[in-house]
Amino acid sequence: MKITTWNINSVRLRIDLVTRFLKEEAPDVLCLQEIKCLEDNFPAKAFHQAGYKHLAISGQAGYHGVAIASRQPLTKIEKREFCEKGDCRHIAASVSGVRIHNFYVPSGGDEPDPKKNDKFAHKLDFLDEMRDWFAELGARSKSVLVGDLNVAPTENDVWSHKQLLKVVSHTPVEVEKLNNVIDAHQWVDVARELIPEPEKLYTWWSYRARDWRASNRGRRLDHIWVSPALKKPALSGGRAAYRIHDDARGWDRPSDHAPVSLKLDL
C-alpha cells in the first residue's frame, strides 16, 4: 500500500497538480491537508475520474480542512475536534485493514511564546491532546499517522538548527511536545528510521525564497509515522520505500509543501 501525504494549500486552486500527481505516482491513498473548502465544494469529480472513488472529507471554508482519497473503500470514518475550536484538522479512516489518521496541526503563528501568542498556545495544547488520545491506542493497532504536523523535530530537519531554535516549528518546546506524542504510542518516525541523521530532510520550502531549490532553506514539517505493529511492513522496503516528491514543489503555482510517500509491504 502506497500512502501519500500532501499539504496542498487549496485543493480547488491546485486540482490540476493533484490529478497530475495521481496519474504519475498512483498512490493507493492520498491524504491532503489545508484543502480550504467545504465538503460540498470539494472537487470530487476530478478524483473519481482519476480512479479515486472513495473520499473522506472534513472541510472548512477558506481555512484548514483535511481529506483522504482512496482507490479502495474507506470504512469507520472519524472526525475528531481538538481543543474545542471547531477547526477541521483531523480525519481518520480504515482501508485494507490499516487505520489512517490524517492531521493538520496548527502552525502556531510567529511568536514562540504561549503567553503572548494565543496561536502558539493553541498549537501546544493541540499536541498535548494528541498525546493523551494516542496513549489510549492499543499496542496491536495497525495505524498510520500522516500529515502536516508543523514541527521539524531534529537538528537536520531544518536548514540551520542554530538559527531556527527560536523560530516557530523548531523551538525546543514544540519538539518536546511532538516527541511526547510519539512516545505515547511508540510511533515510528519512518523517515528517520530509513534515512538517519545527519542527512538533511526537508518537505517544505518558503514561498519567500526567490530560488527555493538553490537556497534550500527547508524544513521537514510533513510526517509519516506507523504504529509498532506496522514497523516491519514500513521498513522492509528500505530507503526506497520512502520518498519526498520535491519535484512537485517546482511545478507551476505549487504548494509550498512537497508530497511525501511511503510504501507499506502488507
**What is the phi/psi pair of residue 261, to 5°?**
-125, 150
Q: Dig out the grid coordinates for 96 from the structure.
A: 485494507
Which pLDDT does position 210 carry in this prediction?
86
First to last CA, the chain: 7
Q: Is the pTM above the cut of 0.85?
A: yes
Which pLDDT does position 40 carry in this prediction?
96
Q: Are 29 and 97 in contact (CB under 8 A)?
A: no
Domains detected in the chain:
2-263 (3.60.10.10)
Splitting the chain (266 residues) into consecutive groups of 10 residues, what average pLDDT does each group show? 98 98 98 98 98 98 96 98 96 97 98 98 98 88 97 98 98 98 96 98 95 97 97 97 98 98 97
